[in-house]
Every structure is written in structure tokens, then in C-alpha cells.
Amino acid sequence: MENNIQHSDIYAIALHHRFQWEEAQQSYVILFPEGMIKLHGGAGEILKRVDGKTSVGEIVADLKNTFPDAEDIESDILGMFDIAVGKAWLRKVN
């Protein structure tokens, strides 16, 4: 992973970006100038927990707890953080 995501890291939605549920699309989206990212199921579940307070480790634990049947979700979650940080949808708070 290029952005070296740590369990202790805390992220927030990047400045000038907005995260919201879109009823018409039945998915979460990230909105920013001139663009929109549609987040499919799992990606939305991860990013809706990003609030500038909860650490990556806590989000991983929460998701494992919420989806006990999903296998090896930790690497998927860290991978999603890696993408989101790389694309500058998230900013590091701590």
C-alpha cells in the first residue's frame, strides 16, 4: 500500500468534499467540484464511519463486528483507505 495506512490513523472526509446517501441511486456518494464518486456497498459502509474521530483500527473492528461472515475484510478495508487517501477524498486528521 502506497499510503501506509496505520490502525492508529484518523481520517476525515476531505475539505470541499461531501459524503451523503443518495436515495435515487441507492448508494453513498462523495461529491466535490466537478465530480461525484458512487460508492458501492462495502465502500459506502467504510466511508460512512470516517468522521474525523474514529481511528482506522476502530473502523476495522466495527466492520468485523457488523459483518462477521465476511472473510478477510481487514485487507479490503485498508485497501479502500489506501485508494481514498490516494485520490484525496480523505484527509488525515491524526
Partner 1 sequence: MAQLNNGVAASVTQKQPLWLLAEVTYRCPLHCAFCYNPTDYDKHTKNELSTEQWIAALRDARKMGAIQLGISGGEPLLRDDIEEIVAEAHKLGYYSNLITSGVGLTEKRIQAFKEGGLDHIQLSMHDVTEDISNFITNTRTFELKKKVAAMIKSHGYPMVLNVVIHRYNIDQVGKILEMAEALGADYVELANTQYYGWSLVNRDQLMPTREQLNRAEAATNAFRERVGNKMKVFFVVPDYFSDRPKKCMNGWGEVFMIVTANGDVLPCHSARVLPGLEFPNVKENGLEWAWRESPAFNKYRGMEWMKEPCRSCDEKENDLGGCRCQSYLLSGDAEMADPVCTKSPNRQLIDEALANSQKPFLREQPIIFRTDKNSKKYVEGDKERIEQFHALP
d(C-alpha 80, C-alpha 43), whole Å: 7
As measured in angstroms, the least distance from the Cβ of 43 to partner 1 is 11
Residues 6+ apart with CB under 8 A from 61: none
25 versus 75: smaller Cβ distance to partner 1? 25
Q: Which three cell numbers stand for residue 27?
A: 448508494
Q: Which is nearer to partner 1, 15 or 72 (CB)?
A: 15
Q: Give the interface with partner 1 as residue ranges (CB under 8 A).
A: 15-16, 18, 20, 22, 24-25, 29, 31-38, 40, 88
Whichever of 12 and 29 has its CB closer to partner 1, that residue is 29
User: E strands of 1-94, at which residues?
Assistant: 11-13, 18-22, 27-32, 35-39, 90-92
Smallest gap from Cβ 70 to partner 1, in A, equals 22
The residue type found at 11 is Y
CB of 82 to partner 1, least distance (A): 14
